[in-house]
Structure 1
Amino acid sequence: MNRKEIGQRLREAREKVGLSRDHVIALPEIEMSRSTLQQWEIGQTEPSLEKLAKLAQLYKVSPQWLIFGEGDSTAQAPAPATNPSLEAPAKHVIFNEEFVLIPMYDIEVSAGNGLFSQGVTEPIKHVAYRRDWLKSKNLDPYNLAVVCNCGDSMYPTIPNGSCMLVNLAKNQAHDGNIYVLRLDDRIYVKRTQWIPTGGLRIISDNTIYEPFDLDKAYLASGQFEVCGEVIEISHIIH
Protein backbone atom coordinates (compact mmCIF):
# COMPACT_ATOMS: atom_id res chain seq x y z
CA MET A 1 0.00 0.00 0.00
CA ASN A 2 1.15 3.53 -0.78
CA ARG A 3 0.57 5.32 2.52
CA LYS A 4 0.82 8.83 1.07
CA GLU A 5 -1.89 8.10 -1.49
CA ILE A 6 -4.03 6.43 1.16
CA GLY A 7 -3.56 9.49 3.35
CA GLN A 8 -4.70 11.81 0.57
CA ARG A 9 -7.83 9.72 0.01
CA LEU A 10 -8.54 9.58 3.75
CA ARG A 11 -8.43 13.36 3.99
CA GLU A 12 -10.45 13.83 0.79
CA ALA A 13 -13.18 11.45 2.00
CA ARG A 14 -13.33 13.06 5.44
CA GLU A 15 -13.64 16.56 4.03
CA LYS A 16 -16.33 15.49 1.54
CA VAL A 17 -18.61 14.41 4.40
CA GLY A 18 -17.86 17.62 6.27
CA LEU A 19 -16.17 16.09 9.31
CA SER A 20 -13.28 17.62 11.20
CA ARG A 21 -10.54 15.44 12.67
CA ASP A 22 -11.86 16.33 16.12
CA HIS A 23 -15.33 15.10 15.20
CA VAL A 24 -13.96 11.80 13.85
CA ILE A 25 -11.89 10.93 16.92
CA ALA A 26 -14.75 11.89 19.27
CA LEU A 27 -16.99 9.15 17.87
CA PRO A 28 -17.16 6.11 20.17
CA GLU A 29 -16.53 3.61 17.36
CA ILE A 30 -13.33 5.37 16.24
CA GLU A 31 -10.68 4.68 18.85
CA MET A 32 -7.66 6.79 17.94
CA SER A 33 -5.97 10.04 18.83
CA ARG A 34 -6.00 13.18 16.73
CA SER A 35 -2.25 12.89 16.11
CA THR A 36 -2.67 9.33 14.81
CA LEU A 37 -5.36 10.39 12.33
CA GLN A 38 -3.21 13.32 11.24
CA GLN A 39 -0.20 11.04 10.67
CA TRP A 40 -2.32 8.73 8.52
CA GLU A 41 -3.65 11.62 6.44
CA ILE A 42 -0.21 13.06 5.70
CA GLY A 43 1.23 9.61 4.97
CA GLN A 44 3.64 9.42 7.90
CA THR A 45 2.23 6.12 9.16
CA GLU A 46 0.02 3.42 7.69
CA PRO A 47 -3.40 2.60 9.19
CA SER A 48 -4.49 -0.95 9.87
CA LEU A 49 -7.04 -2.61 7.61
CA GLU A 50 -9.49 -2.72 10.52
CA LYS A 51 -9.30 1.05 11.01
CA LEU A 52 -9.53 1.69 7.28
CA ALA A 53 -12.73 -0.36 7.14
CA LYS A 54 -14.25 1.68 10.00
CA LEU A 55 -13.28 4.98 8.38
CA ALA A 56 -14.62 3.82 5.01
CA GLN A 57 -17.97 3.10 6.64
CA LEU A 58 -17.98 6.48 8.37
CA TYR A 59 -17.01 8.35 5.19
CA LYS A 60 -19.44 6.31 3.01
CA VAL A 61 -16.77 5.10 0.59
CA SER A 62 -15.52 1.61 -0.21
CA PRO A 63 -12.42 0.25 1.56
CA GLN A 64 -11.04 -0.65 -1.89
CA TRP A 65 -11.12 3.01 -2.89
CA LEU A 66 -9.34 4.11 0.29
CA ILE A 67 -6.62 1.48 -0.12
CA PHE A 68 -6.15 1.24 -3.89
CA GLY A 69 -8.06 4.19 -5.35
CA GLU A 70 -10.49 1.82 -7.03
CA GLY A 71 -14.25 1.58 -6.69
CA ASP A 72 -16.76 4.05 -5.30
CA SER A 73 -15.34 7.34 -4.09
CA THR A 74 -18.67 9.13 -3.75
CA ALA A 75 -19.19 10.37 -0.22
CA GLN A 76 -22.32 12.05 1.02
CA ALA A 77 -22.56 14.22 4.10
CA PRO A 78 -24.27 12.52 7.01
CA ALA A 79 -27.61 13.90 8.11
CA PRO A 80 -27.09 16.42 10.90
CA ALA A 81 -28.48 15.72 14.34
CA THR A 82 -32.00 17.13 14.55
CA ASN A 83 -33.79 18.43 17.57
CA PRO A 84 -36.64 20.89 17.03
CA SER A 85 -36.74 22.03 20.67
CA LEU A 86 -33.04 22.47 21.34
CA GLU A 87 -31.91 23.89 17.99
CA ALA A 88 -29.25 21.48 16.65
CA PRO A 89 -26.41 21.73 19.18
CA ALA A 90 -23.99 20.03 16.76
CA LYS A 91 -22.62 23.28 15.36
CA HIS A 92 -21.92 24.60 18.86
CA VAL A 93 -19.70 21.77 20.12
CA ILE A 94 -16.09 22.79 20.85
CA PHE A 95 -13.13 20.41 21.14
CA ASN A 96 -9.74 20.68 22.73
CA GLU A 97 -7.09 18.07 23.47
CA GLU A 98 -8.60 16.76 26.71
CA PHE A 99 -12.17 18.05 26.88
CA VAL A 100 -15.29 18.42 24.79
CA LEU A 101 -17.28 21.58 25.51
CA ILE A 102 -21.00 20.83 25.27
CA PRO A 103 -23.38 23.77 24.69
CA MET A 104 -25.73 24.83 27.48
CA TYR A 105 -29.02 26.40 26.44
CA ASP A 106 -31.09 28.94 28.32
CA ILE A 107 -34.21 26.83 28.07
CA GLU A 108 -36.01 26.87 31.38
CA VAL A 109 -37.02 23.27 31.89
CA SER A 110 -39.57 22.76 34.62
CA ALA A 111 -40.17 19.44 36.31
CA GLY A 112 -42.93 21.14 38.28
CA ASN A 113 -45.23 23.32 36.22
CA GLY A 114 -43.84 22.95 32.69
CA LEU A 115 -42.53 26.48 32.18
CA PHE A 116 -41.06 26.75 28.67
CA SER A 117 -38.96 29.53 27.11
CA GLN A 118 -38.86 29.46 23.32
CA GLY A 119 -36.67 31.08 20.72
CA VAL A 120 -33.21 30.22 22.06
CA THR A 121 -30.83 29.53 19.19
CA GLU A 122 -27.42 30.20 20.72
CA PRO A 123 -25.87 28.59 23.81
CA ILE A 124 -25.36 30.76 26.85
CA LYS A 125 -22.12 28.96 27.70
CA HIS A 126 -20.36 25.60 27.39
CA VAL A 127 -19.84 22.82 29.93
CA ALA A 128 -16.65 20.75 29.79
CA TYR A 129 -16.76 16.94 29.69
CA ARG A 130 -13.72 14.73 29.40
CA ARG A 131 -13.26 13.08 26.01
CA ASP A 132 -12.43 9.72 27.57
CA TRP A 133 -15.58 9.80 29.73
CA LEU A 134 -17.80 10.48 26.72
CA LYS A 135 -16.15 7.66 24.79
CA SER A 136 -16.54 5.27 27.71
CA LYS A 137 -20.28 6.00 27.66
CA ASN A 138 -20.51 5.69 23.85
CA LEU A 139 -21.77 9.27 23.59
CA ASP A 140 -21.47 11.31 20.41
CA PRO A 141 -20.78 14.93 21.49
CA TYR A 142 -22.72 16.18 18.47
CA ASN A 143 -25.90 14.68 19.96
CA LEU A 144 -25.55 16.26 23.40
CA ALA A 145 -26.89 19.39 25.04
CA VAL A 146 -27.02 20.74 28.59
CA VAL A 147 -30.20 22.25 30.01
CA CYS A 148 -31.22 23.27 33.53
CA ASN A 149 -34.13 22.01 35.61
CA CYS A 150 -36.56 24.35 37.35
CA GLY A 151 -38.98 22.73 39.77
CA ASP A 152 -39.20 20.06 42.43
CA SER A 153 -41.31 17.29 40.88
CA MET A 154 -38.25 15.10 40.18
CA TYR A 155 -36.75 15.64 43.66
CA PRO A 156 -34.67 14.02 45.10
CA THR A 157 -33.31 12.55 41.85
CA ILE A 158 -33.09 15.96 40.18
CA PRO A 159 -33.05 18.88 42.64
CA ASN A 160 -34.25 22.31 41.58
CA GLY A 161 -31.55 24.12 39.59
CA SER A 162 -29.69 21.00 38.48
CA CYS A 163 -27.88 20.89 35.16
CA MET A 164 -28.74 17.90 33.00
CA LEU A 165 -26.76 16.35 30.16
CA VAL A 166 -29.27 15.26 27.53
CA ASN A 167 -28.65 12.72 24.77
CA LEU A 168 -30.72 14.02 21.86
CA ALA A 169 -30.26 10.77 19.93
CA LYS A 170 -32.35 8.93 22.54
CA ASN A 171 -35.76 10.15 21.41
CA GLN A 172 -37.81 7.00 21.99
CA ALA A 173 -39.27 6.56 25.46
CA HIS A 174 -38.42 3.44 27.49
CA ASP A 175 -39.84 2.29 30.81
CA GLY A 176 -38.21 3.85 33.85
CA ASN A 177 -35.83 6.25 32.11
CA ILE A 178 -35.88 10.04 32.52
CA TYR A 179 -36.51 12.24 29.49
CA VAL A 180 -36.91 15.85 28.49
CA LEU A 181 -40.41 15.86 27.00
CA ARG A 182 -42.41 18.40 25.04
CA LEU A 183 -46.17 18.44 25.63
CA ASP A 184 -47.82 21.12 23.50
CA ASP A 185 -45.73 24.25 24.21
CA ARG A 186 -44.35 23.08 27.55
CA ILE A 187 -41.21 21.18 28.49
CA TYR A 188 -41.13 18.62 31.28
CA VAL A 189 -38.52 16.33 32.83
CA LYS A 190 -40.18 13.04 33.76
CA ARG A 191 -39.90 9.29 33.90
CA THR A 192 -41.96 7.31 31.41
CA GLN A 193 -43.76 3.99 31.43
CA TRP A 194 -45.73 2.38 28.64
CA ILE A 195 -49.20 1.17 29.62
CA PRO A 196 -51.22 -1.74 28.13
CA THR A 197 -53.57 0.58 26.20
CA GLY A 198 -50.63 1.86 24.15
CA GLY A 199 -50.49 5.15 25.99
CA LEU A 200 -47.57 6.58 27.97
CA ARG A 201 -47.57 7.24 31.71
CA ILE A 202 -45.68 10.36 32.82
CA ILE A 203 -44.18 9.93 36.29
CA SER A 204 -42.61 12.31 38.82
CA ASP A 205 -40.09 11.05 41.38
CA ASN A 206 -41.55 13.44 43.96
CA THR A 207 -44.59 11.53 45.23
CA ILE A 208 -46.65 14.66 45.90
CA TYR A 209 -47.08 14.91 42.11
CA GLU A 210 -49.56 12.45 40.65
CA PRO A 211 -48.63 10.56 37.46
CA PHE A 212 -50.74 11.20 34.38
CA ASP A 213 -51.34 9.28 31.17
CA LEU A 214 -51.10 10.33 27.52
CA ASP A 215 -53.28 8.34 25.15
CA LYS A 216 -52.26 7.00 21.74
CA ALA A 217 -54.12 9.75 19.89
CA TYR A 218 -52.21 12.50 21.72
CA LEU A 219 -48.87 10.76 21.22
CA ALA A 220 -49.53 10.70 17.46
CA SER A 221 -50.91 14.24 17.27
CA GLY A 222 -47.56 16.00 16.81
CA GLN A 223 -48.02 17.82 20.12
CA PHE A 224 -45.77 15.35 21.93
CA GLU A 225 -42.02 14.90 21.53
CA VAL A 226 -39.27 13.05 23.33
CA CYS A 227 -36.48 15.64 23.07
CA GLY A 228 -33.80 13.43 24.61
CA GLU A 229 -32.81 11.23 27.52
CA VAL A 230 -31.27 12.68 30.69
CA ILE A 231 -28.02 10.77 31.19
CA GLU A 232 -26.12 12.83 33.77
CA ILE A 233 -27.17 15.27 36.49
CA SER A 234 -25.06 17.79 38.40
CA HIS A 235 -26.05 20.25 41.11
CA ILE A 236 -24.64 22.38 43.90
CA ILE A 237 -25.01 20.98 47.40
CA HIS A 238 -26.16 23.76 49.72
Structure 2
Amino acid sequence: MAQGKQLEELFEALKNENIVKTKQDYCNLMNIDYKSFSRLLRDELNYQINPTNFEVLKKLDINIEWFITGQGSMFNSDQTEMIIGTRPTKHNNHFEYTKNDNVIYLNVYSGTVSAGHGEIAIDSEIIGQFPVIKEMIDSCLAEKSFIIKVKGDSMTPTLYNNDYVIGNTELNHTSGEGIYIIRMYDNFLVKRIQFNFDNTLTIISDNARYERQIIPIQNENIQIVAKVVGWVHKHLY
Protein backbone atom coordinates (compact mmCIF):
# COMPACT_ATOMS: atom_id res chain seq x y z
CA MET A 1 0.00 0.00 0.00
CA ALA A 2 1.54 3.31 -1.11
CA GLN A 3 1.93 6.29 1.23
CA GLY A 4 2.73 9.11 -1.21
CA LYS A 5 -0.07 11.39 -0.01
CA GLN A 6 0.74 10.75 3.66
CA LEU A 7 4.45 11.42 3.08
CA GLU A 8 3.65 14.74 1.43
CA GLU A 9 1.22 15.79 4.16
CA LEU A 10 3.69 14.78 6.86
CA PHE A 11 6.45 16.80 5.23
CA GLU A 12 4.27 19.91 5.24
CA ALA A 13 3.28 19.34 8.88
CA LEU A 14 6.87 18.86 10.05
CA LYS A 15 7.97 21.86 8.02
CA ASN A 16 5.29 24.02 9.65
CA GLU A 17 6.55 22.89 13.06
CA ASN A 18 10.15 23.74 12.06
CA ILE A 19 11.20 20.13 12.62
CA VAL A 20 12.54 20.06 9.06
CA LYS A 21 13.31 22.93 6.70
CA THR A 22 13.98 21.23 3.39
CA LYS A 23 13.07 18.04 1.55
CA GLN A 24 16.63 16.87 2.13
CA ASP A 25 16.16 17.32 5.90
CA TYR A 26 12.93 15.35 5.69
CA CYS A 27 14.54 12.52 3.73
CA ASN A 28 17.38 12.30 6.23
CA LEU A 29 14.88 12.13 9.10
CA MET A 30 12.72 9.50 7.43
CA ASN A 31 15.60 7.35 6.07
CA ILE A 32 14.57 8.11 2.48
CA ASP A 33 16.98 8.19 -0.44
CA TYR A 34 16.56 11.76 -1.68
CA LYS A 35 16.80 10.59 -5.30
CA SER A 36 13.76 8.37 -4.71
CA PHE A 37 11.66 10.96 -2.87
CA SER A 38 9.67 12.23 -5.87
CA ARG A 39 8.88 8.64 -6.90
CA LEU A 40 7.60 7.91 -3.41
CA LEU A 41 5.28 10.92 -3.59
CA ARG A 42 3.94 9.68 -6.95
CA ASP A 43 3.33 6.21 -5.44
CA GLU A 44 5.82 4.64 -7.82
CA LEU A 45 7.66 3.28 -4.78
CA ASN A 46 6.48 2.23 -1.34
CA TYR A 47 7.96 3.62 1.86
CA GLN A 48 9.27 0.56 3.70
CA ILE A 49 7.94 0.53 7.25
CA ASN A 50 10.68 -1.71 8.63
CA PRO A 51 11.54 -1.69 12.35
CA THR A 52 14.07 1.14 11.92
CA ASN A 53 11.58 3.38 10.13
CA PHE A 54 8.86 2.35 12.54
CA GLU A 55 10.96 3.75 15.40
CA VAL A 56 11.25 7.05 13.50
CA LEU A 57 7.46 7.24 13.15
CA LYS A 58 7.03 6.41 16.84
CA LYS A 59 9.42 9.20 17.90
CA LEU A 60 7.45 11.64 15.75
CA ASP A 61 4.23 10.42 17.41
CA ILE A 62 2.79 9.46 14.01
CA ASN A 63 -0.43 7.46 14.00
CA ILE A 64 0.67 4.29 12.20
CA GLU A 65 -2.83 3.49 10.98
CA TRP A 66 -3.05 6.95 9.36
CA PHE A 67 0.37 6.53 7.76
CA ILE A 68 -0.50 3.14 6.28
CA THR A 69 -4.15 3.70 5.29
CA GLY A 70 -4.63 7.49 5.24
CA GLN A 71 -7.49 7.14 7.75
CA GLY A 72 -7.70 8.93 11.08
CA SER A 73 -5.48 11.65 12.49
CA MET A 74 -1.85 12.20 11.55
CA PHE A 75 -0.54 12.31 15.12
CA ASN A 76 -1.45 10.09 18.04
CA SER A 77 -1.83 13.18 20.21
CA ASP A 78 -4.78 14.18 17.99
CA GLN A 79 -6.67 11.03 18.96
CA THR A 80 -8.19 11.14 22.43
CA GLU A 81 -9.90 7.81 21.84
CA MET A 82 -6.66 6.09 20.95
CA ILE A 83 -4.81 7.50 23.95
CA ILE A 84 -7.56 6.55 26.41
CA GLY A 85 -9.09 3.41 24.98
CA THR A 86 -6.78 1.59 22.63
CA ARG A 87 -3.41 1.20 24.23
CA PRO A 88 -1.71 -1.96 22.89
CA THR A 89 -2.42 -5.10 24.90
CA LYS A 90 -0.09 -8.09 24.86
CA HIS A 91 -1.62 -11.35 23.64
CA ASN A 92 0.86 -14.25 23.81
CA ASN A 93 3.38 -13.59 21.03
CA HIS A 94 1.87 -10.44 19.57
CA PHE A 95 0.50 -7.04 20.47
CA GLU A 96 -2.75 -5.83 18.98
CA TYR A 97 -5.02 -2.81 19.31
CA THR A 98 -8.73 -3.12 19.93
CA LYS A 99 -10.97 -4.78 17.35
CA ASN A 100 -11.86 -1.34 16.00
CA ASP A 101 -8.30 -0.76 14.80
CA ASN A 102 -6.67 -2.17 11.67
CA VAL A 103 -3.11 -2.79 12.89
CA ILE A 104 -1.55 -5.79 14.64
CA TYR A 105 1.85 -5.44 16.35
CA LEU A 106 4.15 -8.47 16.04
CA ASN A 107 7.28 -9.10 18.08
CA VAL A 108 10.59 -8.42 16.34
CA TYR A 109 13.54 -10.67 17.27
CA SER A 110 17.08 -9.35 17.44
CA GLY A 111 18.75 -12.11 15.43
CA THR A 112 18.61 -12.97 11.76
CA VAL A 113 17.90 -15.96 9.57
CA SER A 114 20.32 -16.63 6.78
CA ALA A 115 19.32 -16.66 3.12
CA GLY A 116 22.80 -17.87 2.32
CA HIS A 117 24.99 -20.45 3.99
CA GLY A 118 23.51 -20.19 7.48
CA GLU A 119 26.37 -18.62 9.38
CA ILE A 120 24.04 -16.64 11.68
CA ALA A 121 21.61 -18.18 14.15
CA ILE A 122 18.35 -16.90 15.60
CA ASP A 123 18.65 -14.86 18.79
CA SER A 124 15.53 -15.17 20.93
CA GLU A 125 15.65 -11.64 22.36
CA ILE A 126 12.62 -9.48 21.52
CA ILE A 127 13.72 -5.97 20.57
CA GLY A 128 10.40 -4.34 19.76
CA GLN A 129 7.13 -4.58 17.90
CA PHE A 130 6.28 -4.00 14.24
CA PRO A 131 2.90 -2.92 12.80
CA VAL A 132 1.14 -5.13 10.28
CA ILE A 133 -2.25 -4.42 8.69
CA LYS A 134 -4.70 -7.08 9.85
CA GLU A 135 -5.60 -7.92 6.27
CA MET A 136 -1.99 -9.02 5.66
CA ILE A 137 -2.18 -11.88 8.13
CA ASP A 138 -5.02 -14.15 9.23
CA SER A 139 -6.13 -13.34 12.78
CA CYS A 140 -5.83 -17.03 13.68
CA LEU A 141 -2.12 -16.90 12.79
CA ALA A 142 -1.22 -13.72 14.67
CA GLU A 143 -0.58 -15.25 18.10
CA LYS A 144 2.07 -17.60 16.70
CA SER A 145 3.73 -15.06 14.40
CA PHE A 146 6.94 -13.06 14.74
CA ILE A 147 9.27 -10.95 12.61
CA ILE A 148 12.98 -11.43 11.97
CA LYS A 149 15.57 -10.05 9.55
CA VAL A 150 16.97 -11.94 6.55
CA LYS A 151 20.68 -11.99 5.75
CA GLY A 152 22.16 -13.12 2.45
CA ASP A 153 21.18 -13.33 -1.20
CA SER A 154 20.13 -16.94 -1.77
CA MET A 155 16.41 -16.09 -1.84
CA THR A 156 16.60 -13.19 -4.31
CA PRO A 157 14.57 -12.03 -6.16
CA THR A 158 11.90 -13.03 -3.61
CA LEU A 159 13.76 -11.89 -0.49
CA TYR A 160 16.67 -9.48 -0.35
CA ASN A 161 19.41 -8.95 2.20
CA ASN A 162 18.03 -7.07 5.25
CA ASP A 163 14.38 -7.73 4.36
CA TYR A 164 12.08 -8.77 7.22
CA VAL A 165 9.99 -11.95 7.15
CA ILE A 166 6.88 -12.83 9.14
CA GLY A 167 7.24 -16.38 10.47
CA ASN A 168 4.47 -18.50 11.97
CA THR A 169 5.50 -21.30 14.32
CA GLU A 170 2.12 -23.04 14.17
CA LEU A 171 2.76 -23.81 10.50
CA ASN A 172 6.00 -25.65 11.23
CA HIS A 173 5.22 -28.95 9.53
CA THR A 174 3.98 -30.15 6.16
CA SER A 175 1.55 -27.31 5.50
CA GLY A 176 2.22 -27.16 1.78
CA GLU A 177 5.05 -25.97 -0.40
CA GLY A 178 6.27 -22.53 0.51
CA ILE A 179 9.04 -20.53 2.17
CA TYR A 180 10.07 -21.77 5.62
CA ILE A 181 12.51 -20.94 8.38
CA ILE A 182 14.43 -24.13 9.03
CA ARG A 183 17.18 -25.29 11.34
CA MET A 184 19.87 -27.28 9.55
CA TYR A 185 22.37 -28.59 12.05
CA ASP A 186 23.09 -25.47 14.17
CA ASN A 187 22.21 -22.91 11.48
CA PHE A 188 18.91 -21.19 10.79
CA LEU A 189 17.98 -20.65 7.14
CA VAL A 190 15.08 -19.23 5.18
CA LYS A 191 14.41 -21.43 2.13
CA ARG A 192 11.66 -22.61 -0.19
CA ILE A 193 10.63 -26.15 0.75
CA GLN A 194 9.01 -28.71 -1.53
CA PHE A 195 7.51 -31.80 0.12
CA ASN A 196 7.97 -34.88 -2.07
CA PHE A 197 5.92 -38.08 -2.26
CA ASP A 198 8.95 -40.23 -1.40
CA ASN A 199 9.20 -38.67 2.11
CA THR A 200 11.99 -36.31 1.15
CA LEU A 201 12.31 -32.52 1.20
CA THR A 202 13.71 -30.42 -1.59
CA ILE A 203 15.39 -27.32 -0.16
CA ILE A 204 15.32 -24.61 -2.81
CA SER A 205 17.07 -21.24 -3.05
CA ASP A 206 15.23 -18.85 -5.35
CA ASN A 207 18.61 -17.52 -6.45
CA ALA A 208 19.63 -19.85 -9.30
CA ARG A 209 23.31 -19.64 -8.24
CA TYR A 210 22.54 -21.96 -5.32
CA GLU A 211 22.01 -25.69 -5.82
CA ARG A 212 18.93 -27.56 -4.62
CA GLN A 213 19.28 -30.10 -1.82
CA ILE A 214 17.15 -33.21 -1.37
CA ILE A 215 17.07 -34.74 2.12
CA PRO A 216 14.88 -37.26 4.01
CA ILE A 217 12.01 -35.76 5.99
CA GLN A 218 13.01 -37.91 8.98
CA ASN A 219 16.37 -36.28 9.65
CA GLU A 220 17.33 -35.28 13.18
CA ASN A 221 19.57 -32.53 11.84
CA ILE A 222 16.68 -30.76 10.08
CA GLN A 223 13.82 -28.99 11.83
CA ILE A 224 11.11 -26.81 10.28
CA VAL A 225 10.80 -23.88 12.69
CA ALA A 226 8.15 -21.70 11.04
CA LYS A 227 6.44 -21.00 7.75
CA VAL A 228 6.97 -17.56 6.20
CA VAL A 229 3.52 -16.00 5.79
CA GLY A 230 4.64 -12.54 4.67
CA TRP A 231 7.59 -10.20 4.33
CA VAL A 232 8.58 -6.55 4.23
CA HIS A 233 11.13 -5.43 1.66
CA LYS A 234 13.85 -3.02 2.72
CA HIS A 235 15.21 -3.21 -0.82
CA LEU A 236 14.29 -0.24 -3.05
CA TYR A 237 13.47 -1.21 -6.60
Q: TM-score with structure 1 length normalisation?
A: 0.55
Query: What is the CA-CA distance between 1:93 and the residue it aligns to?
Result: 2.1
- Give the distance between the partners of 1:132 and 1:176, measured in 2 at CA: 22
Question: What does residue 127 of structure 1 align with?
Answer: 130
- Give the distance between the partners of 2:95 and 2:125, measured in 1 at CA: 14
Report the secondary structure of 2:172's partner residue. coil
- Residues paired across the two proteins, number: 144
Alpha carbons 1:174, 1:194 under 8 Å: kept: no
Question: What does residue 117 of structure 2 align with?
Answer: 113
- Give the distance between the partners of 1:234 and 1:121, measured in 2 at CA: 20
- For 1:1-238, list aligned pairs within 5 A: 91-97=92-98, 98=101, 99-118=103-122, 120-131=123-134, 133-134=136-137, 137-218=138-219, 221=220, 223-238=221-236
Amino acid in structure 2 at the alignment position of 1:140: L
Alpha carbons 1:102, 1:127 under 8 Å: kept: yes
What do residues 185-218 of structure 1 show as CA deviations (whole Å, max 9, x unaligned)?
Answer: 1111111112343211101110110001112442
Q: TM-score with structure 2 length normalisation?
A: 0.55
Query: What is the CA-CA distance between 1:112 and the residue it aligns to?
Result: 0.5
Amino acid in structure 2 at the alignment position of 1:184: Y
- Give the distance between the partners of 1:174 and 1:96, measured in 2 at CA: 29
Q: Structure 2 stretches of 5 or more lacking a match?
A: 1-89
Report the secondary structure of 1:140's partner residue. helix
Amino acid in structure 2 at the alignment position of 1:215: P
Q: Structure 1 stretches of 5 or more lacking a match?
A: 1-88
Distance 1:181 1:121, change over 3 A: closer
Query: What is the CA-CA distance between 1:229 and the residue it aligns to?
Result: 0.9
- Give the distance between the partners of 1:213 and 1:133, measured in 2 at CA: 32
Runs of at least 4 residues of structure 1 off by over 6 A?
none
- Give the distance between the partners of 1:175 and 1:207, measured in 2 at CA: 22
The Cα RMSD (Å) is 2.2
